[in-house]
Structure 1
Amino acid sequence: MPLKTSSLPVKATLLLSSSLTVMAGATIAPSLPAMRDYFAATPNADFWVRLVLTIPALFIAIAAPFVGTMIDRFGRKPLLAFAVLLYGIAGTSGAVLNDISLILVGRVLLGLSVAGIMTTATALIADYYTGAARAQFLGFQAGFMGLGGVLFLSLGGFLADVNWRMPFLIYLLALLILPLVVLVLPEPDRTETAENSGTALTEAFPWRIAGLTYLAAFLSQIVFYLIPVQLPFYLKQLVSATASQSGLAIALATLFSATSAIAYKQIKARLSFMGIYAIAFLAMAVGYLVISFSPTYIMVLVGLAIAGAGLGLLMPNMNVCLTSVTPGSLRGRVLGGLTTAFFLGQFVSPILSQPLSSVVGLDVTYGLAGGLMAAMGAIALGLGWRWQ
């Protein structure tokens, strides 16, 4: 007999499943320098090793719209269960494979699984809860993903100091979550969900709001992913940081992101969507500029904390805004598009930042990213009175 959606096991399963998306790429970020050394004989090793981190994002971006359409038509739970199983198998493959091309294949499959997990878990939250309860739980979702990131990134850093392969074993956690998905989560009545949402008056796809949200997600993730992709190299260059120091630094940003996400419901009660965007973008701008000008490890940590606090507001703000104007029958598709925008930005990030940093240096690259966020914050301030 399925449990009520308000029960603790259902909520815990949704949160644990959502936390897996954090591990998709960044968990192995502290391993990148050692992995590059291991594959040093491979032509263009720098590029291929960074691609191991980011190629899941490309395939998440490609697959998410199809996932959204599938779950709108055929239901949520079966696809989520399959995605969690694939995640555990594909994610762990890097621990045993010796060919970087095969590792990349495993990362492609990992990306496909994350597209299923992220889109479906968020759609289930939007199906199960409405109004303030939805805003609160989507904030909890982003916060729990952040707290999971703190654990996984810190653990990944210490494991990478032992051997670069060890962080891949963290993906086995998915196989422990799989029984919960199968046994605990109820499949929502999609007809009832659409009728009871109380927020969507039409079956039209919200193109204008979705388009603006997708653009903001794409640009913010290009900037965000400078942290897991480039920070280990930046810290090694700046202070000869170890893998564990890099992992802890990235985890600190994730911790502050989680804290602000958990507070999202209280912040949203006082500010419009655009007001929250303005705060988030400007905080990220200040954080990245501090990183750019930091002479010490401690100052980099300060910048990461500020940027992380801004970042934590973005995901729940985007999810709540989109699900509040989208009919239940289209919810999977609109969230699939958001997932695509998020992870396409993550994939594009190193493609843009690697040649840029080679020319101007990583410090200037972080400064330019801060400038982009400042411009987006100014635009959000200018539009703030028009979008509640």
Structure 2
Amino acid sequence: MSTTLARDDTRAGAPQGALLVSLSTLAVLGAVLIAPVQPSIARAFAGQPGLDALVPLSLTVPALAVAVLAPVAGRVVDRVGRLRLLTASLLAYALFGTAPLWLDSLPAIVTSRALVGVAEAGIMTCCTTLIGDLFDGARRNRYFGLQTVATSLSAVVFIAAGGALAAGNWRTPFWLYAVGVLGALAVPALLREPAPRCAGALPPLDRRRLRAPLAVTFVGGLVFYTPIVELSYVLDALGVRSATTIGAVSAAAAVATCAGAASFARLARRGPAVLLPLAFALAGVGLAGVALAGSVATVLLCAAVASAGTGLLLPSMLTWTLGDLPLEQRGRATGWWTAALFGGEFVCPLVVLALSGLLGALSWALAGVALLALALAAATRSLPARASAPMMTGIAK
């Protein structure tokens, strides 16, 4: 059965792109929304066994679930199609995301959070795959860049929203997960399936071609998450105790991430063989500056440089990974890419903590991550020419 569809059949335009970019932010919502209510949750369940481990686990377990299950989601995407899984994942996201509104057991809440991660694995894999399916050339590059812009900005918005909604009751922010129902209604209304259901055996995935992109994406996820996780600790070490100042610096870094991601559409024609070294170099230089900074102004400047690099990094790694893969393999490749990215983000604080203990200070740990980024900048300069090839689409022009 042919997998080539006429462009008119998919109705891919601004509404479809905006929907897919918006739905991509739901994984960020799952990760950061409850960050401001962690102390309130701890107080609500004071005295419960395992409290010190379970409360932070409620924040991080969705990312772990995404890292583990995104490859499974990718296989389902290629087997049964994109829209079935996306719709089901959005409904599951709403169901399990709002579950803490009525759960009275901390282990049960953590379990519901893990199931949110299962839903996020499906959402992220489907949305990214569909952007690759429904758009080509400069339009695809623009939406891949916008995907990173939206997720970066939404992190700031969702943290603020979580804190505001939790002012009266720590459970209130969980109502926001009900947005998954709206997404589940919008998907069949705005999108049509670009890939027919596969009745036979799936065509083999070119794993050999994916090894290097996935390895770089795993480390890239670690580099990407380092300024997000560690910036507040750096400022604290400089004696900054004002939450307003810390928030302002973090917001500025998020804006720089958006600027880096927004530049991808204009620079994409140069290919990953140029953009990956540039992105890793900016991240490495910026993180080295943060590690050595002796003032808030220097931290702000260097964090902006690092974040601009990481903003450019994500869409560059994604286009390199998907490359010229055919539509029948794209779901599985996207699943593995998502798993590598979230896996790197999940181990980031653990790696930085281990380096801090080994080297004696957070600044040295950040310097170590900076050296790793610079090493990857040098390594990716030798990418083969085909790494710069534009990603093909299964949609006929």
| TM-score normalised by length of structure 1 | 0.84
C-alpha distance in structure 1 between counterparts of 2:273 and 2:348, whole Å: 24
Distance 1:264 1:4, change over 3 A: same
1:11 aligns with 2:17: yes
Contact 2:352–2:366 (CA<8 Å) still a contact in 1? no
Contact 1:60–1:340 (CA<8 Å) still a contact in 2? yes
SS at match of 2:192: coil
SS at match of 1:153: helix
Which residue does the alignment assign to 1:268? 268
Which residue does the alignment assign to 2:379? 379
| Residues 90-141 of structure 1: CA deviation (Å, up to 9, x unaligned) | 3344566554423321220111111001100111111112233322222222
In the TM superposition, what is the alpha-carbon distance from 1:264 to its structure 2 partner?
A: 0.8
In the TM superposition, what is the alpha-carbon distance from 1:64 to its structure 2 partner?
A: 0.9
RMSD: 3.2
Letter in 2 for 1:207: R
Which residue does the alignment assign to 2:27? 21
In the TM superposition, what is the alpha-carbon distance from 1:227 to its structure 2 partner?
A: 3.9
Letter in 2 for 1:129: F
Which residue does the alignment assign to 1:195? none
Pairing of 1:109-188 with structure 2 (within 5 A)? 109-156=115-162, 167-188=173-194
Which residue does the alignment assign to 2:324? 325
Aligned residues: percent identity? 32
Contact 2:323–2:387 (CA<8 Å) still a contact in 1? no
Number of matched pairs: 376
In the TM superposition, what is the alpha-carbon distance from 1:295 to its structure 2 partner?
A: 3.5
SS at match of 2:205: coil
C-alpha distance in structure 1 between counterparts of 2:16 and 2:22, whole Å: 10
Distance 1:362 1:136, change over 3 A: same
Q: For structure 1, which runs of at least 5 residues remain unmatched after alignment?
A: 192-202
In the TM superposition, what is the alpha-carbon distance from 1:258 to its structure 2 partner?
A: 2.0
C-alpha distance in structure 2 between counterparts of 1:295 and 1:161, whole Å: 35
Which residue does the alignment assign to 1:365? 365
Letter in 1 for 2:339: T
In the TM superposition, what is the alpha-carbon distance from 1:228 to its structure 2 partner?
A: 4.2
Contact 1:125–1:138 (CA<8 Å) still a contact in 2? yes
C-alpha distance in structure 1 between counterparts of 2:36 and 2:285, whole Å: 24
Contact 2:10–2:194 (CA<8 Å) still a contact in 1? no
SS at match of 1:188: coil
Q: For structure 2, which runs of at least 5 residues remain unmatched after alignment?
A: 1-7, 198-202, 389-397
| TM-score normalised by length of structure 2 | 0.82
After the TM superposition, which of the residue ranges 277-286 and 87-96 deviates more from structure 2? Answer: 87-96
Distance 1:299 1:216, change over 3 A: same
In the TM superposition, what is the alpha-carbon distance from 1:146 to its structure 2 partner?
A: 2.3
Which residue does the alignment assign to 1:304? 303
C-alpha distance in structure 2 between counterparts of 1:280 and 1:157, whole Å: 32
In the TM superposition, what is the alpha-carbon distance from 1:180 to its structure 2 partner?
A: 1.4
Contact 2:205–2:332 (CA<8 Å) still a contact in 1? no
Which residue does the alignment assign to 1:82? 88
C-alpha distance in structure 2 between counterparts of 1:282 and 1:316, whole Å: 16
In the TM superposition, what is the alpha-carbon distance from 1:300 to its structure 2 partner?
A: 3.0
After the TM superposition, which of the residue ranges 316-325 and 152-161 deviates more from structure 2? Answer: 152-161
Contact 1:88–1:173 (CA<8 Å) still a contact in 2? yes
C-alpha distance in structure 2 between counterparts of 1:169 and 1:248, whole Å: 27
Which residue does the alignment assign to 1:218? 218
Distance 1:5 1:238, change over 3 A: farther
SS at match of 1:205: coil
C-alpha distance in structure 1 between counterparts of 2:114 and 2:248, whole Å: 27
Contact 1:27–1:156 (CA<8 Å) still a contact in 2? yes
Pairing of 1:42-81 with structure 2 (within 5 A)? 47-81=53-87
C-alpha distance in structure 1 between counterparts of 2:42 and 2:302, whole Å: 27
In the TM superposition, what is the alpha-carbon distance from 1:15 to its structure 2 partner?
A: 1.4
In the TM superposition, what is the alpha-carbon distance from 1:190 to its structure 2 partner?
A: 3.8
| Residues 278-306 of structure 1: CA deviation (Å, up to 9, x unaligned) | 11111111222222233444433323321
After the TM superposition, which of the residue ranges 86-95 and 155-164 deviates more from structure 2? Answer: 155-164
In the TM superposition, what is the alpha-carbon distance from 1:330 to its structure 2 partner?
A: 0.8
Which residue does the alignment assign to 1:198? none
SS at match of 1:225: helix
C-alpha distance in structure 1 between counterparts of 2:82 and 2:59, whole Å: 28
Which residue does the alignment assign to 1:207? 207
C-alpha distance in structure 1 between counterparts of 2:215 and 2:30, whole Å: 22
